[in-house]
Amino acid sequence: MEPQPPAEQVLRQLGRLLSQRPGVVTELGALLEAAEPRWLLGAGSPAALGELAAALSAFAALPEREQDAAELRDGDGAYAAAAERAADVGRVFLRLLAKLEAAKAEESLGPAVESVLRRVMGHIYVLAVTHLAEGAWSSAGSRAVAAELLAALVRAAGCGTVAELLRGRKEEEEGGFAAVMALLRPQLGKDTWKRNPATKHVFSWTLLHITRPWLSQHLERVLPASLLISDDYREENKVLGVHCLHHIVLNVPGADLCQFNRAQVVYHALYNHLYSREAPLIQAVLLCLLDLLPVLERAQRQQPRPTSPCDEVLQLVLTHMEPEHRLALRRVYAKTLPAFVQRLGILIARHLKRLERVILGYLELSDGPEEEARLGILETLQCTIEHAWPRMPCRIPVLLKALLKMIWDVHTDQGSTPEPVRAALLQRATECLILLDRCSEGQVKILLEGVYSCCEENRVRECIRRVQENT
């Protein structure tokens, strides 16, 4: 009987045949299932298995497309074939992981198992995450195999979660994130990142699993790619990139962000997006800026400026809010405005003239059943009164008229606004009237006396009565 050839020789030979005979994938699966762990994990096997994993990944890879090609749709023939190949390769990887799990029982094979895992983990992870979510390039079969494969990889690495697999089980232990990024980096260049439509999703999904304090050591790997994706002309890519930037801002210490002027670079990238007219993008950008502004302001205490980045952002936001007629954008602006007022505090007084015009315009118009814009603008008014109360008495005639008109409109509106929303609007408007009365030393109570005596609507009278009874 002829002696069995070394595992590395067989594995390399099969790897070379992959591109010529697709049926080799089935042979590989059968070989791995039948192989003895000691034969499979011989001296040269870790390197051979690493090469085989790379060959299998290349075999299962999505077809490249032109950098600016239109988005591919479900049912594309090339994608359907790629999904089928990915499912087949995923099953081969599952057999390999099962064999590695079984080999752990033999203590002498432990180092070989660890060596193999280090070499194949990145390839297995990228394949699994590529087909994990529903996309034009995945199928029900490839998604099922991908989910099973990712769970098996986490288990084989002795980890409890994907995050632990990526960052390492212990603080001093290097996880798999560096290996994954080494595979993704060539695909995340300026001229390459659009050629594989799954790359941006694999990158963002992976990034969101790395949190503080582990992310800071990988900042040089993840920040350029996030900025690149956010700078695209397609809205969905812009939003995805901004979400990645937001995750970085939340999970990297401010000192690291400010080093080499990184925070300023991120700020300018986000600021330019404020000229967009797309509500999802504006919402993502404003939320990200609210977390980035404190970092910038701490860094700029060394070099005081007449206006802060928060002033710059709010000035532009108010400029866009005033003429805005699209309801989706009005809601986004109004919901985030209170946080900017809170951020500036008494310094909101710099923006009162324009802010007052915005408040009056948004109080006047209903934005639908949930009244998100009106509720947000009432909260903004409340915060403004609390922080800039010395500047409020001279504005009472205008604000009082606008609040009373809104209360009347809400009460008499026969539209589809739910009762809890009406109640919330009246409650917030009443609270604003109470705050105005306090900062004007009772002027509002005096002005409301005539309104109360001639008003016959009980709900409106109730709001006025609450203001008059407040002490």
Same domain, 150 and 209: no
Please tell me the distance from the alpha carbon of residue 207 to that of residue 25, in angstroms, as a whole number: 31
Task: Give the separation between CA 281 and CA 242, rounded to whole angstroms.
Answer: 8
Closest CA relative to residue 338, chosen from 417, 247, 432: 432
The Cα 42–Cα 466 span in angstroms is: 83
Same domain? 122 vs 92: yes
How far is 157 from 101, CA to CA, in rounded Å? Answer: 9
End-of-domain residue from the set 116, 132, 161: 161
Q: How far is CA 242 from CA 16, 248, 291, 295, 317, in A?
A: 41, 10, 12, 17, 18
- What is the reported pLDDT for 76? 61
Work out how many domains the chain is built from and give that number.
2
Whether residue 148 is found in the same domain as residue 2: yes
Residue 337 falls inside a structural domain:
no
Instruction: Report the pLDDT value the prediction gives residue 170, as an integer from 0 to 100.
Output: 73
- Domain shared by 42 and 129, yes or no: yes
Q: What is the DSSP string of 150-192?
A: HHHHHHHTT-SSHHHHHH-SSTTS--SHHHHHHHHGGGGSTTT
Note the pLDDT of residue 302: 61
Q: Which of 111, 136, 161 is a domain's end point?
A: 161
461 within 8 A of 455, measured Cβ to Cβ: yes
Examine residue 465 and state whether it is found in any structural domain, yes or no.
no
Q: What pLDDT is attached to residue 2?
A: 47
pLDDT tens string 226-239: 999 999 999 999 99
Residues 6 and 152 in one domain: yes
Are 149 and 18 in a shared domain? Answer: yes
In-domain check, residue 217 = yes
Please write the tens of the pLDDT for every residue from 81-140. Answer: 889 999 999 999 999 999 898 888 787 777 888 899 999 999 999 999 999 988 888 999
Whether residue 124 lies inside any domain: the answer is: yes
Model pTM score: 0.91
Q: Would residue 69 be called left, alpha or beta, if left means φ above 0 and alpha means ψ between -120 and 50 degrees?
A: beta
> Per the domain annotation, does 319 fall within a domain?
no
101 & 249 share domain: no
Asked whether the beta carbons of 355 and 384 are under 8 A apart, the reply is yes
Q: Are residues 235 and 269 in the same domain?
A: yes
Q: Which domain holds residue 97?
A: 1-62+78-161
Q: What is the pLDDT of residue 120?
A: 94
Last residue of a domain, one of 246, 280, 314: 280
Residue 265 resides in a domain: yes
| Residues in the chain where the model's pLDDT stays below 50 | 1-2, 74-75
44 and 147 both lie in a single domain: yes
Among 255, 180, 268, which residue's Cα sits nearest to residue 213?
A: 255
| 154 & 195 share domain | no
What CA–CA distances, in Å, run from 116 to 27, 46, 113? 20, 5, 5
d(CA 275, CA 320): 8
pLDDT given at position 66: 67
Question: Within 13 Å and on the Cβ side, how many CA atoms surround 220?
Answer: 5
Domain membership of residue 304 (yes or no) is no
First-last CA distance in the chain: 102
* Residue 232: per-residue pLDDT: 94
